[in-house]
Amino acid sequence: MSDVARSLLREWLFRTLDDKAGTWLGDQITTLAAKPSDEALYVGFGQVPRRLGKGALGLSPDDLDAAKRALDGWCPGNWTLADAGRILLLSELPAASPGFAGRFRSLCQTADVNELVSLYRGLALYPEPAALEPQVGEGLRTNVRTVFESIAHDNPYPRRFFDLHRWNHMVLKALFINSRLAPIQGLDERANEELARIMTDFAHERWAAGRQAPFEIWRGVGPFARAAMLQDLARVLASDDPLEQKAAALALSASPDPEAARLLRRMPALLGEIQGGRLTWAALH
């Protein structure tokens, strides 16, 4: 992990904790530096909530700006003291300590929900990040939404380390569990034609069942929209739901097909908002 990011996390924790909690955490870090055994790690990891509390880490806007500068995509704004303590203990393991990926996997296999959230929130900060990918993939299989979102939301790890199959599986899983797509980092950067096809198939399944398709689907479809996909977007553009109309308009504006521009001209007000920068995906919620 970035030394600057680790120093920031340590600084934020120790300025927030009272003397007793800070002394305990410092002792744990010192113990792990001298004897990085599984037993010392697992005991310290398990005691974190009781010793540090479960309140918010409480970062300021300046802190969050510093986080972004230290590590691209790092978003610890919703971390708790317990999250930060668990993650710091793992990230402070000596560089020469072997088998981090195995330890991470073992912790995940025995962790409760809150511990899993902490473990996955810290992915961007750990050593051997690429070696953690198989366990992170297992984490995506969870039926617990908070655990899934600790991987998928505001986390730079999937954007950097997931292959095409794993990435598409994560996005589709988000749709199935009604989790938002907007907090997924790299959503536009990693859009791909296969995922666009999967999304339109998902929309057709919803329509066949008499249900509405999530408006965020069309964000991933727009850059690849042509032929039948454009017909789908024309249908959504004609919706009575203003949110769907806006999503379809934004998707059409991203399509390279000239027919998309013709369809968009049917909605001059929305076209004007897009051209003026007032209508963006970030504005839809």
Q: What is the pLDDT of residues 100-154, one digit of tens each?
A: 899 999 999 999 999 999 999 999 999 888 999 999 999 999 999 999 999 999 9
DSSP single-letter state for residue 215: T
Cα angle: 130, vertex 133, 134; to 5 degrees: 135
What is the rounded CA–CA span in Å between residue 173 and residue 144?
Answer: 12
C-alpha dihedral sign at 205, 195, 182, 126:
positive
C-alpha dihedral sign at 16, 19, 21, 22:
positive
Is pLDDT of 254 > 70? Answer: yes
Average pLDDT of the segment spanning 75-84: 96
Query: Is the separation of the CB atoms in 158 and 185 below 8 Å?
Result: yes
What is the rounded CA–CA span in Å between residue 242 and residue 162?
Answer: 34
* H runs (alpha helix) in 113-265: 113-121, 133-139, 145-152, 157-161, 164-176, 193-208, 217-221, 228-237, 242-254, 258-264
Assign 172 a pLDDT band (cuts: 50, 70, 90): very high
Residue 224, pLDDT score:
97
Backbone φ, ψ for residue 78 (5° rounding): -105, 15
What is the rounded CA–CA span in Å between residue 245 and residue 221?
Answer: 14
Single out the residue of 91, 73, 86 nearest to residue 112, CA to CA: 86
C-alpha distances (whole Å) from 233 to each of 33, 227, 279 are 57, 10, 17
Single out the residue of 161, 18, 8, 169 nearest to residue 79, CA to CA: 8
C-alpha distances (whole Å) from 276 to each of 14, 129, 254, 271, 284 are 46, 41, 15, 8, 16
Q: What is the pLDDT of residues 217-237, one digit of tens each?
A: 999 999 999 999 999 999 999
Single out the residue of 227, 268, 276, 234 nearest to residue 251, CA to CA: 234
Task: Assign 3-state DSSP to the chain and report helix, strand, coil percentages, each to 5.
Answer: 65, 0, 30
What is the rounded CA–CA span in Å between residue 151 and residue 119?
Answer: 9
Q: Is 79 helix (H, G, I), strand (E, B) or coil?
A: coil
pTM for the model: 0.93
Query: Is the separation of the CB atoms in 216 and 181 below 8 Å?
Result: yes
Q: How crowded is residue 107: how many other Cβ atoms within 10 Å of its Cβ?
A: 21
